[in-house]
């Protein structure tokens, strides 16, 4: 089967994300947060329970494989491997945008494979905020998803050669939240969020937001490199947006009436812990897990995730936390630059 332009784009996203990762390994913005060490944690590691649970989610672990791919033969293989890793480690997983499967039904299998190999796992569907509520429910039904991610990606569309030019999304998001039968998470793809937008989403009835901050996979760079006629013409947007650390501070200054997830540049279990201490209930990882899979194999990814699960347990013990709700008591300081950001906001 010859693949469409959109399927080709999915392959390019994957290849360029990995190539960028190798060229310039991401530096987590959470390096700007330092946890204060306390020498007597008074806890045993056996008491630690990493479970993440609220009214809609009940996960064994507070981190998950974030939305990446699907929509071509090659990316279907990647979804299959990610789903095996999710199944073997008990992690939740999101598939990439299913918009292509709605336009080109032949590509649906590259997403459905994730459900096929992991029938009992927690799977999240993914669709852009420009889609109708009916399409959003289709994306859910296609993989029998347990939740839906709706991505808001104006900066990415701006740089993308064939990107959308219209960003009227609020009415769609409201309709999707009312219509879709599973929990909805509104997510950025790496440019972060601000307190006001988080408040607006809460007022629109959104209960889950993923601040999707800058400092990891950078779609301004990826889309710019895809444009062969005029590559790198958008270099002025490479630093656009709020980092993951800044976005978590924004979320702290927003309403409590919304649950916060985080993604963007997570490179270690310590980054997960810091994001949780800053208020994230769950933390998504895309680029690092993709890189691990592509430079090793499925077993390599399973080993990495298993190691992170063990190390996160150790870190909880190190900060004296038996469960996620204990993390609010962990003291930390901000780098001068991050404090400056916070002071000015
Ligand atoms: C190859 C690739 C494709 C992606 N495709 C999507 C997508 O279709 N929908 C979406 O919401 N996010 C997508 N993302 C963004 C990730 O879900 C995540 O928000 C972002 O990469 C930041 O996390 P990271 O720094 O751990 O990669 C993609 C990321 C990668 C690496």
What residue owns the CA closest to ligand 1's atom 21?
A: 217
Question: Cβ(149) to ligand 1 under 6 A?
Answer: yes
Cβ atoms 319, 269 nearer than 8 A: no
To the question of whether residue 193 is assigned a binding role by annotation, the answer is no
Task: Give me ligand 1 centre to Cα 203, in Å.
Answer: 26
Ligand 1 centroid vs 49 CA: distance in angstroms? 28
pLDDT of residue 136: 98
Which residues pair with residue 148 across a beta bridge?
Answer: 125, 184
CA 306 to chain centre: 19
pLDDT number for residue 232: 87
Instruction: Evaluate whether 286 touches 59 at the Cβ level (below 8 Å).
Output: no
Task: Reduce the DSSP state of residue 134 to 3 states and report it.
Answer: helix
Helix (H) or strand (E) holding 75: helix 73-89
pLDDT by residue (tens digit) across 199-232? 999 999 999 999 999 999 999 999 999 988 888 8
Residue 301 confidence (pLDDT) above 80: yes
CB of 128 within 6 A of ligand 1: the answer is no
Averaged confidence pLDDT in the chain: 97
334, with CB counted inside 10 A (0-12, 13-18, 19+), is: middle
> CB-side exposure of 87: number of CA atoms within 13 Å?
16
The residue nearest atom 22 of ligand 1, judged by CA position, is: 264
287 is in an annotated binding site: yes
The full set of domain ranges for the chain reads 5-344
Whether 306 has a pLDDT exceeding 80, the answer reads yes
Per-residue pLDDT reduced to its tens digit, 128-159: 999 999 999 999 999 999 999 999 999 999 99
Give residue 229's pLDDT.
84
Contact between 317 and 44 (Cβ < 8 Å): yes
286 is in an annotated binding site: yes
C-alpha 196 – ligand 1 centre gap (Å): 23
Q: pLDDT digits over 160-200, tens only?
A: 988 999 999 999 999 999 999 999 999 999 999 999 999 99
The model's confidence at residue 24, banded by pLDDT at 50, 70 and 90, is very high
- Asked whether the beta carbons of 20 and 218 are under 8 A apart, the reply is yes
2 confidence band (pLDDT: 50, 70, 90): low
- Please tell me if the CB atom of residue 66 comes closer than 6 angstroms to any atom of ligand 1: yes
User: Would you state the pLDDT for residue 228?
Assistant: 81
56 alpha carbon – ligand 1 mean position (Å): 23
Condensed to tens digits (0 to 9), the pLDDT of residues 309-338 reads: 999 999 999 999 999 999 999 999 999 999
Check whether 1 has a pLDDT greater than 70.
no
How many angstroms does the Cα of residue 171 sit away from the middle of ligand 1?
Answer: 24
Homologous superfamily (CATH) for 5-344: Aldolase class I (3.20.20.70)
**228 or 62: whose pLDDT is higher?**
62
Contacts 24+ apart (CB under 8 A), 48-53: 48/313, 48/316, 48/317, 48/321, 48/322, 48/323, 49/322, 49/323, 50/309, 50/312, 50/313, 50/316, 50/324, 51/323, 51/324, 52/281, 52/282, 52/324
Closest CA to 260 of 206, 215, 218, 316: 206
- For the record, the structure tokens of 41 come out as 């944690």
Atom 30 in ligand 1: which residue has the minimum CA distance?
A: 68
Q: How far is the CA of 305 from the centre of ligand 1 (A)?
A: 18
Q: Which atom of ligand 1 is nearest to 263's Cα? A: 23
Does ligand 1 lie within 6 Å of residue 286's CB atom?
yes
Take atom 14 of ligand 1 and give the residue whose Cα is closest: 68
Return d(Cα 249, Cα 157) in angstroms, integer.
Answer: 26
């Amino acid at each position: 089967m010859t693949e469409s332009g959109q399927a080709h784009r999915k392959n390019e996203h994957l290849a360029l994300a990995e190539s960028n990762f190798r060229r310039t390994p991401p530096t987590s913005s959470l390096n700007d947060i330092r946890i204060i060490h306390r020498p007597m944690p008074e806890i045993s590691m056996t008491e630690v329970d990493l479970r993440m649970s609220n009214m809609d989610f009940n996960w064994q672990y507070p981190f998950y494989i974030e939305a990446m791919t699907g929509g071509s033969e090659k990316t279907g293989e990647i979804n299959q491997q990610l789903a095996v890793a999710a199944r073997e480690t008990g992690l939740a997983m999101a598939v990439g945008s299913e918009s292509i499967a709605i336009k080109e039904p032949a590509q649906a299998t590259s997403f459905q494979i994730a459900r096929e190999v992991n029938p009992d796992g927690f799977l999240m569907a993914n669709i852009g905020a420009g889609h109708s509520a009916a399409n959003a429910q289709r994306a859910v039904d296609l993989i029998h998803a347990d939740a839906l991610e709706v991505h808001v990606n104006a900066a990415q569309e701006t740089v993308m050669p064939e990107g959308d030019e219209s960003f009227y999304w609020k009415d769609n998001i409201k309709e999707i939240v009312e219509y879709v039968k599973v929990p909805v998470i509104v997510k950025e793809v790496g440019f972060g969020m601000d307190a006001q937008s988080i408040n607006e989403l809460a007022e629109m009835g959104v209960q889950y937001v993923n601040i999707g901050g800058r400092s990891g996979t950078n779609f301004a760079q990826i889309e710019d490199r895809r444009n062969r006629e005029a590559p790198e013409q958008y270099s002025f947007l490479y630093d656009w947006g709020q980092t993951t650390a800044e976005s978590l501070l924004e979320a702290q200054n927003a309403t409590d009436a919304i649950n916060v997830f985080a993604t963007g540049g997570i490179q270690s279990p310590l980054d997960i812990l810091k994001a949780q201490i800053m208020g994230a209930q769950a933390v998504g990882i895309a680029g690092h897990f993709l890189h691990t899979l592509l430079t090793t194999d499925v077993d390599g990814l399973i080993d990495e995730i298993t190691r992170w699960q063990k190390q996160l347990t150790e870190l909880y013990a190190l900060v004296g936390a038996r469960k996620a709700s204990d993390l609010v008591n962990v003291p930390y300081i901000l780098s001068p630059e991050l404090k400056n950001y916070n002071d000015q906001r």
